Structure 1
Amino acid sequence: MRNLRICLIEDPLAPTHGPHSIALATLRSAAVAQGHRVITLIAGESETVRHYEGEEPGDPPLSETTLAVPAISGTRTMRASYRTYQWLSGRHFDLIFAGAHQSPLYYSLLAKRQGTDFRTTAFCTVATALTATALSSESRFLDGIEHLIADEIERAVIKRSDAVIAADADVDDWIRGQDWPRPATFLRAPMAGDSAEADREWSELFRRIIAGVVEHSDGHGDPMAARDRKPLVSACIVSFNRHRLLSQAIQSIQDQTYPNIEIIVVDDASNAPDSTTQLDRIAAELEACGGRLIRHERNRYLGAARNTAARHATGEYLFFLDDDDIAKPDQIATLVDVATFTNCDIVNSFCDRHFGEDRPAPDQGSPERWIMLGNVPSVGLFHNLFGPASALIKTASFTRLGGFSEAHGVGHEDWEFFAKASLAGMNLQLVPRALFWYRHTPGSMIQTIDPHQSMARNISAYLNHIPKPLRPACVLAIGLDRRQGALQHELSGSREQLAATRDEVARLQHRVSLLEQENRDLLAACRTALGAPATSTPQSALDRYWESRSWRLGRILRIIRGISLGNRQPEVKPVIRSWTEAATTISAIRGTISWEILGSARAIRRAIHGPARPGTSGRGRSATPGLRQGGIDQTIRAPATEESS
């Protein structure tokens, strides 16, 4: 047996000692023991993907890869599956293992079945704790769109995998009881353990998988054989009053790598001032390359305009592109390859968002990628995840469905069309690549239509397939989903407001902290300026001056001056409550005539006895500039209710 290159995909949210993690760890040990090269990918929705080689991360160390496109749409399960596909599609593996719970293999298996990737790679799914079985164990049903999407992805992955290992008895029973086909290699995992017998059983299981799927993985056909046929494709573009953008859309079709295309443009009665001149120019350019411009005499809206283009088309396939979108050079070639390889009726793809009226540069990166789910009608009842309107459709299938419905002023004609095709049992394919630029155009139709009427349009496709007594329940389900979406939007807004409030509180707390520190610094400076020890209080700082020899000896002078001025009130020591009051009062004391007169005595005393205690010496009116607030009479003359000295 040749040595294989194997990838195991871990779910970072799975319990470390749960059946899923134990099964993958045991398979990894068996593969390494048999000499195979094993890479472990830690799946996630971030553009940074972590992976390591061997049995444990660290030898060699955990590696990281940054994937293109920083933002993608969809649920967590969809995003994680797409990130996994992005990483896998640029690498070759003989065998890939992953869990079925919210499986990361959904888009990779789509690509394999379409012949675009992984032609010689075998996929093995380890089935444990599926969404449906996990909720059932909690006496719960699917209660949200994320649960529904996860459930559909898990079912699809189990159906499309080359091999399935049921690592849990309940899951094994549930899968075997489903009324849909399972892969030929469907195995029950042996009991996990550290015994030699358990190791032998897992090694034997691993050998059976290799013998059953790896050695016989032929890619389900040769995609190169399908590429030899080049059927005519009619590229249909409908437009209204967007002549500059229309020219870009036409040019993107002319730049396609696919060689067999006719271009049909339908103008839906544009009424801009320069419409006639611009349309005449476009008509001449189309005629030069074998295309056609058809003009509506009155505005009939998108569904009718697309039907007009289809009636004038001669191709085996119809390709629809909106006038403000830009096809990437390989869009039509890729869609035709998938259509001929899978013999599907409809095929579309992901898209990248584009902002502005300029055409995207050839090497321009995408700020956001829209990913969809494809042919999943249960999800399509609530949200259009079938794929975008830019699709390749067999002309015969389009005719059999009766084309698009024609309702003026109402959108969702593509959603309704895809739902009708899916419910009719047609083969719809979604290529998990972004093959065109979806332009965000202010004031576009999707932003101006009535959402309720548009939703009712695509609901009608489902109501026609449901018995009349059950139709109100179907409408109720959609209404509840809309209501849940509105509540989630409100909750999201509340969370954003709460986060903003927390940020503001944190900012204010930081500001308070700075002010408190500033206050402490000012108090320290104030104590230093007043000559007060660090442990003193405002009152004790004043007391040091009030009880000083200079202030007591000068009291007789102040009494005499007070009598001469008609003020016979006794001196009262102020009660100080703050450092500001202390600084003001001390400044007033040091500014009195009596303090200045005794300044010479203080100088002589310092010369004989050395410096006095801090705060009791110095000449001049104030050692604390800017703190003097008035004369001593205003500061320390108070009613006789205060204690006199």
Structure 2
Amino acid sequence: MHTPLVSIICLCYNQQRFVKEAILSAFEQTYENIELIVVDDASVDNSRQIINQMVEKHPEIKYFPLPENLGHCAAFNEGLEKAGGEYIIDLAADDILYPERVEEGVKAFQSGGNTCGVNFSNAERVDESGRHISFHYPIDELGNSVVPVPEGDVFEEVIRRYFICSPTVMFRKDIIDAMGGYDASLAYEDFDLWVRTSRNYNYVYTDKVLMKKRVVSGSAGQKQFKVRSAYLHSTFKVCEKISKMIRNNSEKKALKKRIKYEITLSLRLLSFEVALKYLRLLKSLK
């Protein structure tokens, strides 16, 4: 059986409470052919000291402390340049991999064929102490999702709504390399990643809980709903990209619906300039 190298890129910024557990979860994988790359985005807490301690115990860790804060997208790209794996996992330093995550991902890619670009799974949401909150997709007594999860060609569905749990994503390195990595002009990466990869590649869903996503106060996911959030501008940029990628009326309809939602959100968060840009984009689609 072919056992391709998988690169886990653990990106840390001020995660002194959680980074050790994230790193350990990479070492506890049932799949062996893994390289762990840790990038610290100029943390100002004790993250670097903790990472250094882990590197002393595990010298195989490829550690890159950045001299200045670049933000998630640009910092991840620094790690991506060093990665030699066929597949990539973007592991936030406050999240945790289940032991089977990498093994299940490799299986999904090998069964999905050349058209498969991204694998994702279910996740357990936990609080800052690691206590269970919920599952991303509700599950039955066997651990299977009780709601339908889109897979295959998900481009239109990605435009329409949020349904993928970001930390569960595992993707092919050749695809992300061809895209030039994450778009460093954006405040966050996942929506843009999903749009650009799903346009030409299929998504394969593994119906298992394979990640713990930690819900942390003040996290990036919560910042996108703050007044005048920079995330709103990034979402608009992605919607602009989508407008140039749509191929039929059904996809156009999905984008129009998305834009109307984003206009409402921008107005609620007092980002009137962004709302105006959306109105202009909506008009251009007509």
Q: Distance in 2 between matches of 1:464 and 1:279?
A: 42
Distance 1:298 1:258, change over 3 A: same
Higher strand share: 2
Alpha-carbon deviations, 1:523-578, whole Å to 9, x = none?
xxxxxxxxxxxxxxxxxxxxxxxxxxxxxxxxxxxxxxxxxxxxxxxxxxxxxxxx
Q: How does 1:421-570 map to 2 (within 5 A)?
A: 421-423=197-199, 425-449=200-224, 450=229, 451-466=231-246, 476-482=256-262
Distance 1:280 1:458, change over 3 A: same
Q: Distance in 2 between matches of 1:458 and 1:405?
A: 10
In structure 1, what residue type is equivalent to 2:39?
Answer: V
Q: Distance in 2 between matches of 1:323 and 1:276?
A: 12
Aligned residues: 244
SS of the aligned residue for 1:258 comes to: coil
Give the share of equivalent positions with the same residue, in percent: 22
Instruction: Give yes or no for contact 1:351–1:437 (8 Å, CA) kept in 2.
Output: yes
Q: How far 1:473 sits from its partner (Å)? A: 7.8
Q: Which residue of 2 aligns with 1:271?
A: 44
Higher helix share: 1
Q: Distance in 2 between matches of 1:321 and 1:434?
A: 16
TM-score by length of 1: 0.36
- More moved, 325-334 vs 373-382: 373-382
Distance 1:456 1:281, change over 3 A: same
Does residue 1:416 correspond to 2:196, yes or no? no
Q: How far 1:484 sits from its partner (Å)? A: 7.7
Does residue 1:260 correspond to 2:33, yes or no? yes
| Aligned with residue 301 of structure 1, among 71, 77, 92 | 71
Q: How far 1:296 sits from its partner (Å)? A: 1.3
Distance 1:297 1:350, change over 3 A: same
Instruction: Give yes or no for contact 1:356–1:439 (8 Å, CA) kept in 2.
Output: yes
Q: How far 1:243 sits from its partner (Å)? A: 2.2
Instruction: Give yes or no for contact 1:286–1:293 (8 Å, CA) kept in 2.
Output: no
TM-score by length of 2: 0.77
Q: Distance in 1 between matches of 2:120 and 2:86?
A: 16
Distance 1:422 1:281, change over 3 A: same
Distance 1:345 1:291, change over 3 A: same
Distance 1:415 1:232, change over 3 A: same
Q: Which residue of 2 aligns with 1:6?
A: none
Q: How does 1:549-628 map to 2 (within 5 A)?
A: none
Does residue 1:354 correspond to 2:134, yes or no? no
Instruction: Give yes or no for contact 1:387–1:430 (8 Å, CA) kept in 2.
Output: no
Q: How far 1:311 sits from its partner (Å)? A: 0.8
| Aligned with residue 384 of structure 1, among 143, 162, 167 | 162
Q: Which residue of 2 aligns with 1:329?
A: 99
Instruction: Give yes or no for contact 1:268–1:296 (8 Å, CA) kept in 2.
Output: yes
Distance 1:484 1:337, change over 3 A: same
In structure 1, what residue type is equivalent to 2:98?
Answer: K
Instruction: Give yes or no for contact 2:123–2:165 (8 Å, CA) kept in 1.
Output: no
Instruction: Give yes or no for contact 1:245–1:357 (8 Å, CA) kept in 2.
Output: no
Q: Distance in 2 between matches of 1:444 and 1:297?
A: 22
Q: State the structure with more CA Rg.
A: 1
In structure 1, what residue type is equivalent to 2:172?
Answer: K
In structure 2, what residue type is equivalent to 1:380?
Answer: V
Alpha-carbon deviations, 1:270-328, whole Å to 9, x = none?
112x34433422332341xx111111111111111221111111112112211111111
SS of the aligned residue for 1:243 comes to: coil
Distance 1:276 1:251, change over 3 A: closer
RMSD over aligned Cα, in angstroms?
2.6
Q: Which runs of 5+ in 1 are unaligned?
A: 1-227, 361-365, 487-645
Distance 1:434 1:276, change over 3 A: closer
Does residue 1:285 correspond to 2:57, yes or no? yes
Distance 1:466 1:276, change over 3 A: closer
Distance 1:275 1:328, change over 3 A: closer
Distance 1:407 1:483, change over 3 A: closer
Distance 1:465 1:249, change over 3 A: same
SS of the aligned residue for 1:384 comes to: coil
Q: Distance in 1 between matches of 2:4 and 2:252?
A: 44
Q: Distance in 1 between matches of 2:208 and 2:21?
A: 22
Q: Which residue of 2 aligns with 1:370?
A: 136
In structure 2, what residue type is equivalent to 1:322?
Answer: A
Q: Which runs of 5+ in 2 are unaligned?
A: 138-148, 267-286
Q: Distance in 1 between matches of 2:98 and 2:252?
A: 43
Instruction: Give yes or no for contact 1:350–1:388 (8 Å, CA) kept in 2.
Output: no
Does residue 1:394 correspond to 2:172, yes or no? yes
Q: How does 1:4-403 map to 2 (within 5 A)?
A: 228-272=1-45, 274-287=46-59, 290-343=60-113, 344-358=116-130, 366-371=132-137, 372-374=149-151, 375-403=153-181
Q: Distance in 2 between matches of 1:434 and 1:464?
A: 35
In structure 1, what residue type is equivalent to 2:190?
Answer: D
Q: How far 1:235 sits from its partner (Å)? A: 0.9
Q: How far 1:482 sits from its partner (Å)? A: 4.6
Instruction: Give yes or no for contact 1:256–1:330 (8 Å, CA) kept in 2.
Output: yes
